[in-house]
Chain A
């Protein structure tokens, strides 16, 4: 989908290259996260995709086409863009902000109105309640929601997001990250997300490019980066509690095993539903980390995994959790 080929960027008067001979391939539909400390060239890399910055050398391809050959406005209209400050227009209402690009494209008013409502619903803002509000009346999460809706308005193939969660407090940040992942499952765009927060990268990314001094040190899945950091700097960036972070990436559905086996080893009274009296349960989407926390809470060495309609699907034992992180490779193969 997006391919960087030996792309470099040096600013006039800059000491070192802001982006240094970067090559990347970003697949269609994936969330690619550029992560690294401030000044490592993430924003520059991102802005070269929508031609806000021109590479000093190298080529960027979009669907195989050199973006230099594409019309700048057409290219940008096909790329949703959310800047760090979100940048909602203060003189326009929420609805007008979301309609920015549809108006630019000359859509009919009725079509614009319907699209705006659809988008506000998608980002979980009531169109009747929020449509006429001005950006100054919104809190940081609501602003981000409007920013997401505005970026999606013309149904672009790609979304570029520059530290979009940066302005949120930790609680709101986690919630918005989760909500964005839910939205992404519905819209399935190719997303390039910039952040300096490695936990956010691990949480959000299908693949993560760890950057330093304009170079990509490692470009891989979050699991691979956690279990096999390619560079001392990557290890340092991941920090401690690596095993816990890895557990965050493994779902209970991946870890659970059959209940019947478990029954034989634990010769106790099973209820009709298949669980033990008083035993705790957890959802299939929950992570290994959630399971661990739940076991610590109940003091039991196992818990049951149930689906959305509360049917028990399997069981996880403490040993499964140990194995999942101490043998990262085995867990990944499943």
Chain B
């Protein structure tokens, strides 16, 4: 029964992704094939959209990877016995940190590092690190101490207690953190264009400069569709984990 409903959930998520991709493609086709004037035709081509999409994806992927690769190990380290007493306070700090707007962090980073893709990636990585850190700390902290006592008492080596008990049990929570991080990054990557980092944000800037709604809508809609598609991908991963 359960497996069946998960299978169904899997299929639904897959359909959502396909549908979102089709909508995105139709939007591009509509703008490229039916530009509102020559200027739009000149500035928007399949090639340009693809390049910007690729940049956007790579910024999101790099920033997310940066966040995951720092936040998960940090969360693991900060839940080891010698730091354990601090864990609740750190969770509180991570929560407060998430309230800082991403735009402010990006603006600050430009002040420190100058413009460019690296600045955007570093700033976004920093912002999206907090939900992952928060969830890693919370997830590991929530593992029943009795399970740890059982594992340690039977002679499971501490590092294996981590990999065989703590991380698998915290995984759903950590994945939820990664999911919000990626969602944040897909939106924040629009801002990368404003600091010379490229990505779909450039379409919005272009559209704004030449005052063409068609281009702005395309630049705003594609990241939105991407965020919805990412959500569906994470749903699929969730269903996969439950099987």
Q: Using Cβ atoms and an 8 Å threshold, which residues of chain B touch A87? A: 144, 146-147, 149-151
Q: A63-96: which residues lie under 8 A (CB-CB) from chain B?
A: 73-81, 83-87, 89-91
Q: B127-148: which residues lie under 8 A (CB-CB) from chain A?
A: 144, 146-147
A104 lies within 8 A of B169 (CB):
no
- Count the B residues whose beta carbon is within 8 Å of the partner chain — how many? 17
Q: B147-199: which residues lie under 8 A (CB-CB) from chain A?
A: 147, 149-157, 160, 164-165, 168-169
Q: Mark A83-117, 1 if CB is under 8 A from B, else 0.
A: 11111011100000000110110000000000000
| Residue of A75, A76, A86, A89 with highest tally of chain B CB at under 10 A | A89
Does A324 sit within 8 A of B, measured CB to CB? no
Residue of A nearest to B148 (CB): A87
Q: Using Cβ atoms and an 8 Å threshold, which residues of chain B touch A160? A: 153
| Residue of A76, A81, A87, A151 with highest tally of chain B CB at under 10 A | A87
The tally of CB-CB contacts under 8 A between chains A and B is 61
Q: Using Cβ atoms and an 8 Å threshold, which residues of chain A touch B169? A: 89-91
Alpha-carbon distance A83/B147, docked complex (angstroms)? 9
Q: Using Cβ atoms and an 8 Å threshold, which residues of chain A touch B151? A: 87, 89, 100
A100 lies within 8 A of B168 (CB):
no
Q: Using Cβ atoms and an 8 Å threshold, which residues of chain A touch B146? A: 83-85, 87
Alpha-carbon distance A238/B226, docked complex (angstroms)? 71
Does A318 sit within 8 A of B, measured CB to CB? no
B152 lies within 8 A of A91 (CB):
no
Alpha-carbon distance A78/B151, docked complex (angstroms)? 14
Does A52 sit within 8 A of B, measured CB to CB? yes
A77 lies within 8 A of B155 (CB):
yes
The smallest beta-carbon distance between B186 and chain A, in angstroms, is 30
Per a CB cutoff under 8 Å, which of B150, B155, B156, B164 touches A83?
B150
Per a CB cutoff under 8 Å, which of B147, B153, B165 touches A76?
B153
Q: A130-160: which residues lie under 8 A (CB-CB) from chain B?
A: 150-151, 160
Q: Mark A160-178, 1 if CB is under 8 A from B, else 0.
A: 1000000000000000000
Does A8 sit within 8 A of B, measured CB to CB? no
Q: A87-B146, A87-B147, A89-B147 are in contact. Are A80 and B154 (CB under 8 A)?
A: yes
Q: Using Cβ atoms and an 8 Å threshold, which residues of chain B touch A190? A: none
Alpha-carbon distance A52/B149, docked complex (angstroms)? 8
A83 lies within 8 A of B149 (CB):
yes
Alpha-carbon distance A52/B152, docked complex (angstroms)? 8
Alpha-carbon distance A164/B8, docked complex (angstroms)? 41
B156 lies within 8 A of A81 (CB):
no
The smallest beta-carbon distance between A125 and chain B, in angstroms, is 19
A89 lies within 8 A of B165 (CB):
yes
Alpha-carbon distance A91/B171, docked complex (angstroms)? 11
Does A281 sit within 8 A of B, measured CB to CB? no
Q: A87-B147, A89-B147, A89-B165 are in contact. Are A100 and B154 (CB under 8 A)?
A: yes
Q: A89-B165, A90-B169, A91-B169 are in contact. Are A104 and B156 (CB under 8 A)?
A: yes
Residue of B nearest to A96 (CB): B164
Does A287 sit within 8 A of B, measured CB to CB? no
Alpha-carbon distance A150/B150, docked complex (angstroms)? 11
Q: A89-B165, A91-B168 are in contact. Are A81 and B150 (CB under 8 A)?
A: yes
The smallest beta-carbon distance between A67 and chain B, in angstroms, is 13
Q: List 5 A-B contacts (CB under 8 A).
A: A73-B157, A81-B154, A89-B151, A104-B155, A150-B154
